[in-house]
A and B are shown apart, each in its own frame.
Chain A
């Protein structure tokens, strides 16, 4: 069974731009969560989607948004990029909304200059 895939793997953007990251969960998994990982803060929860609905959201500004499609694929968008948004963005999939066993994709390394 294929794992979680994320595209693109690397991205360089300038301040003020926006970016869209994509995630395809493991086949059969319907819940997708997004995390931001930085050396200082570790893994921080962004949001979770299940059945095309955002179930929960972490403590991030409104510039961070996401959505999920009917095939469970998910995208996250960051608008008006700031230098501090440079991080590894990780998508994790789980079977459903009650399973906490999450499997991570390879991540997208975003650098904001």
Chain B
């Protein structure tokens, strides 16, 4: 069964620091990886996707993919209190769906 593993946290970082969120996945054949941000009481919001090995940067966010080691990570530079949320990692399932991790709760302290 395809699975995604994430540290549930909470991960606490000071404002301005780099937050590093990690995720491992079970299916070596997966090609598409996603990071969603979910604020408390809200629905998940797609913030990054990555398909190729290496880094992909978008503003303060960098997604890193290592298919050989089956992990994907999300770096948030210059963390802000507004980044405090649960971050969900997901990868493609075989049923046209996304398989989600349980999420890592990030808290950015002012």
Contacts and interface: CB of A to CB of B under 8 A. Distances in A.
B49 interface: yes
Interface stretch (A14-22, A75-83, A102-110): A102-110
Interface residues of B, number: 22
A90 B92 CA distance: 17
A42 B32 CA distance: 20
B55 to A, nearest CB: 19
Interface residues of A, number: 24
Interface in B72-95: 88, 90, 92-93, 95
B95 A48 contact: yes
Contacts of B17: none
Contact of B46 (A55, A56, A97, A102): A102
Interface in B11-66: 32, 34, 36, 42-46, 49
Interface of B: 32, 34, 36, 42-46, 49, 88, 90, 92-93, 95-103
B88 to A, nearest CB: 7
Contacts of A8: none
A97 B32 CA distance: 14
30 contacts: A33-B96, A33-B98, A42-B100, A42-B101, A42-B103, A43-B88, A43-B100, A45-B93, A45-B97, A45-B98, A45-B99, A48-B96, A50-B96, A55-B96, A56-B96, A58-B97, A90-B44, A92-B98, A97-B96, A100-B34, A100-B49, A100-B98, A101-B34, A101-B46, A102-B34, A104-B36, A104-B44, A105-B43, A106-B42, A107-B43
